[in-house]
Amino acid sequence: MSKYGITFIGHMAFDEVHHFGGGKIVAPGSAVLCGAMVSARIGVKTAAVVKMSLEDEEITQPMKDLGVDVFIIPADCTTYSRVLHKSANVDERDINLVRTAGLMKIEDIPELESEYYHLGGISDSEFDMVLIDGLKARGYRLSTDMQSYVRQITPVTNEINFAEAKNKEEIVSKMDMVKLDIVEARVCAGTEDLEEAAKIFQSWGCPEIVVTKSDGVLARKDGITYFEKFSNNSVIGRTGRGDTTFAAYQSWRLKHDVPTSLKFAAALVSIKMETYGPFAGTLEDVYKRIEEKHSLASCHITR
């Protein structure tokens, strides 16, 4: 058995979030933080390999407090993003990367015994094909979030534009599991139909696909598509929705089937979206939400 269930790779960051209608919050963030906090809270042995400034090391403490083993790759700065929600639609937002810690290199990644290495980036400034090929050559099972390649930084302005991922088919073909959202489905697969997008991504060589949108999450595996609605009462904690959903799904998939894992992930992220920051609940909270809001009949299945 591997020492770790999941090893998350990516930047630590500060997120400055401007909410539609007013209000701003600045807090530590990133796909790694949101993901690792989830897997650790639900009992998965977790590692995090992060690139950041050593001056900001204290923002990794919440992960360490949950038992996450943190490996820091020193950088000149810690990534800082600014998110502006332009409307009540939480999927419509402008993102500006004020600064970035830069590309991660294969020689900086520790060789750990892990069921999965998950590449969870904020933008295309973190991973390249050299890193992916290097991890694949080590024999790891890999997963990734397509935001890591679709969110592309515009020179000078540092504004993030959503554009088709370079080498998208090659990237996906090297993965055992891929996560995307409705925006990434549109720019990479040319469709906002989640099931169609999942089928297209599978045709590129990845066997298991997870897709999120504002009202729920879809998973496709072995020719079957599952969809589970979210049950949140607010979207104040929308930032990190996809990272949290996928981390919950992937963590539960280590020992459970697709529909069970999808239901678990939808319930957990619904709780997370009702408060700021990473998921701070317990397994008991998730079980209660499943019982109250996610009945067995709620998971829609197509073949």
Q: What is the pLDDT of residues 30-44, one digit of tens each?
A: 999 999 999 999 999
Residue 160: how many other CB atoms lie within 10 Å: 24
Q: Which of 50, 8, 15 is nearest to 160 (CA)?
A: 15
List beta partners, residue 184: none
Which of residues 202 and 300 earns the better pLDDT score?
Answer: 202
> Distance between CA atoms of 214 and 234, rounded to whole angstroms?
11
Domain total of the chain: 1
29, pLDDT greater than 90: no
User: How are beta strands 151-153 and 216-221 bridged, if at all?
Assistant: unpaired
Average pLDDT taken over every residue of the chain: 93
Residue range 138-174, pLDDT digits in tens: 999 999 999 999 999 998 888 999 999 989 999 999 9
Mean predicted confidence (pLDDT) in 94-115: 95
Give how far Cα 208 sits from Cα of 33, 141, 229, 234, Å.
23, 12, 19, 29
Contacts of 110 (CB under 8 A, 6+ apart): 49, 71
297, pLDDT greater than 90: no
Contact call for residues 62 and 83 (beta carbons, < 8 A): no
DSSP state of 131: H
Rg for the chain, CA atoms, rounded: 18
CA dihedral 19, 20, 23, 28 (to 10 degrees): 0
Contact call for residues 51 and 125 (beta carbons, < 8 A): no
Least confident of 80-94, 136-150, 226-240: 80-94
Residue 86's pLDDT is 81
Q: Which of 262, 270, 276 is nearest to 233 (CA)?
A: 270
Band (1; pLDDT cuts 50, 70, 90): low
With both helix axes pointing from N to C terminus, report the angle between 241-253 and 31-41 in degrees, rounded to the nearest 10.
Answer: 40
Q: Helix, strand, coil % (nearest 5) of the chain?
A: 35, 30, 35
Which of residues 217 and 298 earns the better pLDDT score?
Answer: 217
- CATH number of residue 140's parent domain: 3.40.1190.20
Phi and psi at residue 49, to the nearest 5°: -105, 110
Q: Which of 114, 112, 143, 136 is nearest to 249 (CA)?
A: 143
Expressed as residue numbers, the domain containing 292 is 4-302
Mean predicted confidence (pLDDT) in 299-303: 75
Phi and psi at residue 133, to the nearest 5°: -65, -35
List beta partners, residue 294: none
| Tokens found for residue 217 | 């999450």
113, pLDDT greater than 90: yes
Q: Which of 228, 267, 235 is nearest to 91 (CA)?
A: 235
Task: Cite the DSSP H helix spans in the chain.
Answer: 31-41, 61-65, 129-137, 147-150, 168-173, 182-189, 194-203, 241-253, 258-272, 283-293
Mean predicted confidence (pLDDT) in 68-92: 89
DSSP state of 165: P
Residue 130's pLDDT is 98
